[in-house]
Structure 1
């Protein structure tokens, strides 16, 4: 288990993977190691068939293809680390292929639905002001829940209308629109000091005055989604997708949107592109500098 701890420390500190990703790898690999121990298989003796047998067991448990694909990534990364650092002489996972995950369509909210979700007519309490600011930040910047949770008060610079997102490997500076800035400033000036203590660093705090947990923030989002009475599975990813697609439909540059979201490459936005209005697609085709080069 000491080797596993060293590996997890390596991917967090050297590979700069987010805490959430490291936690997922930890769960996957503990389950994998438990499987080996139950069958008295030493890590140094693992062969390809042992890994395949483990994956077959996972399929019997009716685990989703996406989860199995992630587990294979965890196992391959771990064995690659062990082989590269000469802890093991071979890498039994090198020929294991990940199953193709069927990519589902991106679910988004319409702009009218976003307005309904973010309406917040009652801002009479510090918690309501906080919650309004949270929703405005999630939709107004497209950041992930883990990134919002990790944000500290010092990551906000309202003099130049930016927030600093320093979570994981996709560190970036994100501009704030006027509405997002207004409600974030209202929370900081009118609400935050009522909810926590001066020494607390977290930007957004829960009922105990401490940094939100991932689960706590999800519950908060589900609560307001239910109140809004929108017949969709509203979650942070839906807000992030909606932010991206609404920007693209408004004519924003794809590369700029990708950079704001912190995606590592443009292919991450392929699922979004089909949602762009037909008029925008037509304009891109008509105005592209190479569109009329073929005689």
Structure 2
């Protein structure tokens, strides 16, 4: 009995990915799994050849992915979009090889993933993290001195991150000369080499003064312009800075996952909660478009709805 045309067409596409495109084993496994589900969908509709597939079939398959069909659970938008990539690749290949008269999947667009709101910490949790960076336990159950060079650096690092709303890469790239302590401003170099000057608060300035006077001299080993130094006297890496925050969050007893971007998100959210204009926050964050910053207004609106739902006697519960 001859194999159905669709089986051979899918095998031909996978062979093309292997030989012509040099696709990785994991990629091939993913494509094979996604296309097997597509074949199952088409077979249920008595479609055995790509030449018989219409755009409506491809669109219907996408709907089935999102809603769940054939005993499969519904897929999230991102997973459905990944599966559609395999299907579109198959039809593009079939059209190019003359197996089908046209690429019927070309106009079928993947679903747009839901917009994830940034995670922001309450002010009291941010303060707890900042304070934990300069003191607390050393991990062995003994109190650690808050004025060691490393602890002074760690407190200063996190204070600057939150005070300026900076990216972790921007802070680890700082040189000593980038900080104007008298003018209370910091020069940050963002994405694409764009520079911006942002103000810095008094607590961060105090942490900077303490670190530059009593901390950094104990870390420096050679002529090094970097503001934040590691124990070998070189520039602190992003990975090490990330660990500083993770350790401080653990000491502060913060149960949720905290990353350097969490402090950046918290910075923006707290400014908007305090009445700052979204375009001012845009400039401080270094966003090229205000649309990127406006996602934080969704965060504050969501917070207002939660407070309303909990506190208003006539709220819908």
TM-score (normalizing by structure 1): 0.62
Work out whether 1:163 is the aligned partner of 2:186. yes
Work out whether 1:112 is the aligned partner of 2:124. yes
Tell me, in whole angstroms, the C-alpha distance in 2 between the residues paired with 1:264 and 1:59: 40
Moved more, 125-134 or 272-281: 272-281
Match of 1:39 among 7, 10, 19: 19
Residue in 1 aligned with 2:139?
none
Work out whether 1:154 is the aligned partner of 2:134. no
Taking a change above 3 Å as real, the CA distance of residues 59 and 137 of structure 1, as seen in their structure-2 partners, is farther
Match of 1:261 among 261, 285, 288: 285
Runs of 4+ displaced beyond 4 Å: 35-38, 54-62, 94-99, 277-281
Work out whether 1:101 is the aligned partner of 2:113. yes
Q: How many matched pairs?
A: 212
Residue in 2 aligned with 1:213?
237
Residue in 2 aligned with 1:137?
160
Q: Aligned to 1:173, what secondary structure does the other structure show?
A: strand
Q: Aligned to 1:174, what secondary structure does the other structure show?
A: strand
Match of 1:238 among 262, 274, 281: 262
Contact 1:251 1:280 in 2 (8 A): no
Give 1:1-295 correspondences, 5 Å limit: 39-41=19-21, 57=30, 65=78, 100-120=112-132, 122=135, 123-169=146-192, 170-276=194-300
Tell me, in whole angstroms, the C-alpha distance in 2 between the residues paired with 1:143 and 1:214: 13
Contact 1:249 1:280 in 2 (8 A): no
Taking a change above 3 Å as real, the CA distance of residues 59 and 36 of structure 1, as seen in their structure-2 partners, is closer
TM-score (normalizing by structure 2): 0.58
Cα distance per residue 1:23-67 (max 9 Å; x no partner): xxxxxxxxxxxx99952349xxxxxxx9xxx699479699x949x
Residue in 1 aligned with 2:48?
none
Contact 1:249 1:277 in 2 (8 A): no
Structure 1 runs not aligned, ≥5 long: 1-34, 43-49, 73-93, 282-295
Q: Aligned to 2:236, what secondary structure does the other structure show?
A: coil
Taking a change above 3 Å as real, the CA distance of residues 262 and 41 of structure 1, as seen in their structure-2 partners, is same
Contact 1:133 1:183 in 2 (8 A): yes
Taking a change above 3 Å as real, the CA distance of residues 209 and 250 of structure 1, as seen in their structure-2 partners, is same
Taking a change above 3 Å as real, the CA distance of residues 200 and 98 of structure 1, as seen in their structure-2 partners, is farther
Contact 1:150 1:202 in 2 (8 A): yes
Root-mean-square deviation (CA, aligned residues, Å) is: 3.6
Structure 2 runs not aligned, ≥5 long: 1-14, 35-74, 86-105, 136-145, 306-317
